[in-house]
Amino acid sequence: MKKQLFLSVLMLALASGVSLLLFLTRPPTDIEEPAELTVSVDVASVVKQDLRIQVQAQGTVTPLKETAILAEVKGRIVDVADSFNVGGFVSRDEVLLRIDPRDYQTSLLRAQAAVESAESSLAQEKGRAEVALQEWKKLPKGSQRSEEARDLYLRKPQLEQAEAQLLAAQADLNTARDNLERTIIKAPYDALIRAKHSDLGKFVSAGKPLADIFSVESAEVRLPIPQSKLAYLELPGLKGYEQGSPIDLYTDVSGEVKHWTADLHRTEGIFDERSRVLYTVARIEDPYALKDPTREPLRIGTFVNANIEGRELKGLVTLPRYLLRAGNFIWVVDESMHLRNRKVSVLRTGGDHIYVNAGLDEGDLVSLTALDSSFAGSKVTIKSTTPSDKLDQHGRSKVEGAEALNTASTSGEADAAMVAGGR
């Protein structure tokens, strides 16, 4: 028992001695200040501009005029135009169909004969009335009776009846002539046939649908504008736009983006109850490019995007959208060359750019290098400076091109990784 106690004390003493020896022979400690690494960034120098903000919208191309052509008289279709097919183009006043006119030609002849007969009857009554007047004047004064008797003696009722019969015959003649003209169905305007419901040899009755057509002279697009973006547009007065703002319509056609020009024509004047948007209407002239075959046709039913040029706004700063962080913050380099979070006010627009209307002053430096919030207060060195009005949506100079962006992005990521590693 004593031996075990002795060994324990001995081992404890040896451990204490070794610890004391290590403490006494420890190397001296040198305390060094951590090196402050800087972040290399590209910056944009703030330039304020007076700009017209483009408002984006989408819509479907619809015809300005659309007509369902109906038969106004009954009969068998005896002739159709070569262009009377679905998708066929027809010109204004071009004959589309002809209904058998023989019955209506006969009715016209009868009406003409009735008019001639009524004219003859009227002439006879006028002659009789003239003879009666001469006889009336020869009668002694005592024999002249009441006014009614005088009118009857002078055949005034018969004369009025003959005039009425002539008017009725002329009305029947006009109706017969109109019915004969209605056997010829013409296009009311330059149009495209959407659907046809009759063809050669078919018997149709009055009111029977013959075809559906729509105008190719003009087309329209209804563009929904939210309330928040109405302030960016010059809205029309009661008579519509005197000179509509130009609109760039575009869509993808077989992998290629095609563009068309339109003009703002009017607004519909009321807010949609469900979506709370105001519809403004753009008008496109000659959508099928019939007058200018070199243009791409804009077919009815095409879904298009629209860039609408708005009214001029003062003192805006244009920046790429990717610079805006949550809470409307962007990185700004202050006078001491440190990164600072700056809250800004931006207009509510779509697209690849933001438009800052408050929070930045002329000449402020905005960092174009994307950094997270851990870099707040970091010291920076500026690699390049570009005016904000010379930037594209990727934050690179419109002049320098894509190569400058790739170099700046690679350098910025490397510096950020180095600083993060140093921390």
C-alpha dihedral (328, 334, 340, 344), degrees to nearest 10 = -10
Report the pLDDT value the prediction gives residue 142, as an integer from 0 to 100: 61
Report the pLDDT value the prediction gives residue 418, as an integer from 0 to 100: 38
Report the pLDDT value the prediction gives residue 53, as an integer from 0 to 100: 80
Q: Which of 60-69, 166-175, 310-319 has the lowest mean pLDDT?
A: 310-319
pLDDT tier at 140 (50, 70, 90 boundaries)?
Answer: low
Q: What gap in Å lies between CA 310 and CA 244, rounded to an integer? A: 10
C-alpha dihedral (139, 141, 146, 151), degrees to nearest 10 = 40
What are the tens digits of pLDDT across the range 236-276?
A: 665 555 566 788 999 988 888 999 999 888 888 888 888 88
What are the tens digits of pLDDT across the range 335-346?
A: 888 888 889 888
Do 386 and 319 contact (CB within 8 A), yes or no?
no
* Residue 69: CB atoms within 10 Å: 21
Residues above pLDDT 70, as percent of the chain: 83
Q: What gap in Å lies between CA 329 and CA 320, rounded to an integer? A: 13
Residue of 322, 383, 306, 380 lying closest to 354 (CA atoms): 322
Report the pLDDT value the prediction gives residue 241, as an integer from 0 to 100: 58
- In one letter, which amino acid is 376? A
